[in-house]
Amino acid sequence: MIHCGFIGILGLPNAGKSTFLNEVLGEKVSIISSKPQTTRQSFTGLVSTDDYQLIFLDAPGLVESKPGLFEFLAVEFTKVVERSEHLMVLISFEQKATESLQILLEKVKNSGKPYRVLFTKADLEESEVVKGLKVDFDKEGIVWMDFSVKKKDRSDINAYLKTMAETLPKEHHPLYDPDMISLDRTRDIVAEFIREQCFVQLEKELPYGLGVVIKSFKREKGMQHILANILIEKENHKAILIGKAGSRLKKIGQESRKKIEALLGEKVFLGLHVAYKKNWMKNKSIMKEVGYHHDK
């Protein structure tokens, strides 16, 4: 018998949710960037031991529900809360007092799900808000822990995961193959790797109306051939993405290919094309093609 269950990772944009997930998995399945709203879909990662199996759902940062992409993000956040048996709230050490933080904590409490807190980026200076929250959580009996990816000793986080696992139901067998680290389709992860490099290479010039569609994914001549479109909402963003003499798009492709080859364990040909689609985030058919949709 082992403990098994779904754990929802929640937090405000840039709380370090994807960083935490990649750290505990020991592999990269969620993209990381200093830009808010890097995570758009609830990527699923598995941590399996002889005693437990945790199925992590990495939700987008909490946002206001609006038509288009932001509506998708809000629904995705809600779905993660509903599917989870236990919630983890990640709060950055540098967190300031905001209405969004209050809303997040209220949503978690009102869900009725058991939850605990992880204070991330613990190598930074601790804000007064975080100090106050720790006092409040102690009074309420809420379990919390400081976490930093720069700390090499994993004993604390392993103990944290183990005690959380013990709150989950017991099963005769793991729910999924213990050798797996993610349930998400390879195509989705590849698209996220490409989108991550757009964040990295464009930095402050990044157009927020940006998405990635995998157009072709097949084996040819002993390697994987992948063709992808990078969608933009404004025509003048095309030059930004491509760069002088194609230099920026080439760099995006080179760095993405390295991560994709590490994921697949084989050589990859990656072809990227920048496609202008006016207001694509308001087009349901394109949103579905990109993967930002929900089955009714």
Complete domains list, the chain, with CATH: 2-171 (3.40.50.300), 186-290 (3.30.300.20)
130-154 pLDDT tens trace: 999 999 999 999 999 999 988 877 7
Closest CA to 186 of 250, 249, 71, 268: 268
- The pLDDT, as a whole number, for residue 58 is 80
HEC letters along 40-89: CCCEEEEEECCCEEEEEEECCCCCCCCCCHHHHHHHHHHHHHHHCCEEEE
Report the 10 Å Cβ neighbour count for 104: 20
Report the 10 Å Cβ neighbour count for 208: 11
54-98 pLDDT tens trace: 988 887 665 454 444 445 456 777 888 888 999 999 999 999 988
Sign of CA dihedral 238, 241, 244, 247: negative
Task: Find out whether 253 and 217 touch, Cβ atoms under 8 Å.
Answer: no
Closest CA to 83 of 106, 38, 113: 113
Task: Find out whether 25 and 7 touch, Cβ atoms under 8 Å.
Answer: no
Question: Under DSSP, is residue 199 helix (H, G, I), strand (E, B) or coil?
Answer: helix
- The pLDDT, as a whole number, for residue 73 is 54
- The pLDDT, as a whole number, for residue 40 is 44
Report phi then psi at 266, rounded to 5.
-160, 170
- The pLDDT, as a whole number, for residue 181 is 67
* Cα maximum dimension of the chain: 63
Task: Find out whether 269 and 226 touch, Cβ atoms under 8 Å.
Answer: yes
- The pLDDT, as a whole number, for residue 45 is 79
- The pLDDT, as a whole number, for residue 123 is 92
40-61 core/surface letters (b: 16 or more CB in 10 A; e: else): bbbbbbbbbeeebbbbbbbbbb
Q: What is the rounded distance in angstroms from the CA atom of residue 71 to the CA atom of residue 49?
A: 36
Higher pLDDT, 179 or 243: 243
Please give the radius of gyration of the chain, using alpha carbons only, rounded to the nearest integer.
20
271-289 pLDDT tens trace: 999 887 776 655 555 555 5
Report the 10 Å Cβ neighbour count for 226: 24
